[in-house]
Amino acid sequence: MRSHPGAELVQRLASLPPLAMPAETRALREAIAAAGRGERFLLHARLGGARATRLQAGLRLLTLVRTVLAFGSGRPVSTVVCLSPPTGADPLPAYHNAAAVLSFLRASGQEERDDLAVTQAWGQALPARSDALAGVVTEIDRALAFMTACGLDVRAATSSLRHRLYAATELSSPTTAAALIRTDARDRNRYATSAHLLWLAPWASERSIRVAAKAANPVGVRLGRTVTPRHLTTLCGQVDPHRSPGRLVLLVALDTTAALLGRLCEAVHGAGHAPVWGYVWGGASGGGGDVATLRGTLLRHGAELGGVAMDLDGRCLERAVGIAAELMERPPRGRSPLREGSRG
């Protein structure tokens, strides 16, 4: 049984500075809305440790994975990094740890790093055994060489790799999450400042759902294989009553059957929601299934594959290449499946 913080600790937590600023959260909602229109791609990444050396290695992998996904999708990539939520009887250590990680990520994202020239980073991070990845790297190198030959500034063109990193956390403790909700003076909305994006379990408690509903943050849900269309539409209606673009991110397991995914799409879109659909690769969800089948199901139901969640481990680059290869098979420019599905 999880222990909960006392009133004094909750009060102390409520007095601490926000971890995620409302302006950043609004920017993420705009990015998620763009991903829902097929104009952007979301990468949800777990760095795998809070030590500086692990974070530095994770950031290098993150740069390369993001580059491969942008190349394959032809879309800008927004990155959401998973943080451990402040939970337990004393949430303060977790809060300070999350603050330190975010400070490190923000500082690293602003640095003028030589490896952001992309081509200088491949040789240090490329697994020699991956022929597919080597092929993608070669194509990217040729594209960069062509840009240089045309007189374009490659470093300026790849400056998007130093973009803002967003944070996500599980809404596993509604008490501590509620303590970090603040009203923003600019738009008078209430924001959870523990992270930019809040993750809900598909069978989350009513208290957790109420906390997510009162905050203006985007909400993500990892869907298990037992979720039903009725339950999902009820949950979506609770946290997205106004059917706002950029509000919902729905992640399924890669081996989710086409029949179940189709029913979920029909139910959610039929209820008027406009989520970003993605999938979880690796970790507890396993690596089975087929990206092409999953994406094909989404396209048939008027949606597009808009994101992926993965651990930044030894196989993440190979996974990114597989995703990129599928995303290269995209609808003609200017004719996204969502636009086509909305025509009379």
Q: Tens digits of per-residue pLDDT, 255-269? A: 889 999 999 999 999
Bridge partners for 250 per DSSP: 221, 277
Is the pLDDT assigned to residue 339 strictly greater than 80?
no
Q: What is the per-residue pLDDT for 33?
A: 96
Assign residue 336 a region: left if phi > 0, alpha if psi is -120 to 50, beta otherwise?
Answer: beta
Percent of the chain with pLDDT over 90: 39
Q: Using 50, 70 and 90 to split pLDDT, how confident is the model at 343? A: very low
Is the pLDDT assigned to residue 94 strictly greater than 70?
yes
Is the pLDDT assigned to residue 333 strictly greater than 50?
no
Query: Mean of the per-residue pLDDT values for the chain?
Result: 81
- Comparing 12-26, 40-54, 125-139, the range with the smallest average pLDDT is 125-139
The residue among 154 and 294 whose pLDDT is bigger is 294
Tell me which architecture the domain covering 7-342 has in CATH. Alpha-Beta Barrel (3.20)
**Cα–Cα dist 196/106, whole Å:** 14
Write out the two tokens for 269: 């879109």
The residue among 189 and 343 whose pLDDT is bigger is 189
Q: What is the per-residue pLDDT for 135?
A: 75
Is the pLDDT assigned to residue 113 strictly greater than 50?
no
Is the pLDDT assigned to residue 325 strictly greater than 90?
no
Helix boundaries (H) for the chain: 7-14, 22-36, 52-73, 92-110, 119-125, 131-149, 154-157, 174-179, 206-214, 229-239, 258-270, 291-300, 316-327, 337-342
Cβ burial, residue 126 (10 Å; 0-12/13-18/19+): middle
Q: Using 50, 70 and 90 to split pLDDT, how confident is the model at 125? A: low
Q: What is the per-residue pLDDT for 193?
A: 94
How does strand 181-183 pair with strand 190-192? Answer: antiparallel
Q: Decide: 103 and 110 in contact? Cβ < 8 Å.
A: no
Cα dihedral 122/126/129/131 (nearest 10) = -40
- Average pLDDT for 57-79: 85
The residue among 87 and 284 whose pLDDT is bigger is 87
Phi, psi of 310 (to 5 degrees): -150, 155
Going by C-alpha positions, the residue among 317, 319, 226, 313 that lies closest to residue 281 is: 319
pTM for the model: 0.85
Q: What is the per-residue pLDDT for 41?
A: 94
**Cα–Cα dist 34/68, whole Å:** 19
- Comparing 19-33, 83-97, 168-182, the range with the smallest average pLDDT is 83-97
- Comparing 120-124, 173-177, 303-307, the range with the smallest average pLDDT is 120-124
Is the pLDDT assigned to residue 22 strictly greater than 50?
yes
Is the pLDDT assigned to residue 137 strictly greater than 80?
no
- Comparing 229-233, 277-281, 317-321, the range with the smallest average pLDDT is 317-321
Q: Using 50, 70 and 90 to split pLDDT, how confident is the model at 57? A: confident
Find tokens 């400070």 and name the residue.
103
Is the pLDDT assigned to residue 116 strictly greater than 60?
no
Bridge partners for 301 per DSSP: none
Q: What is the per-residue pLDDT for 335?
A: 39
Going by C-alpha positions, the residue among 54, 83, 93 that lies closest to residue 165 is: 83
**Cα–Cα dist 68/44, whole Å:** 14
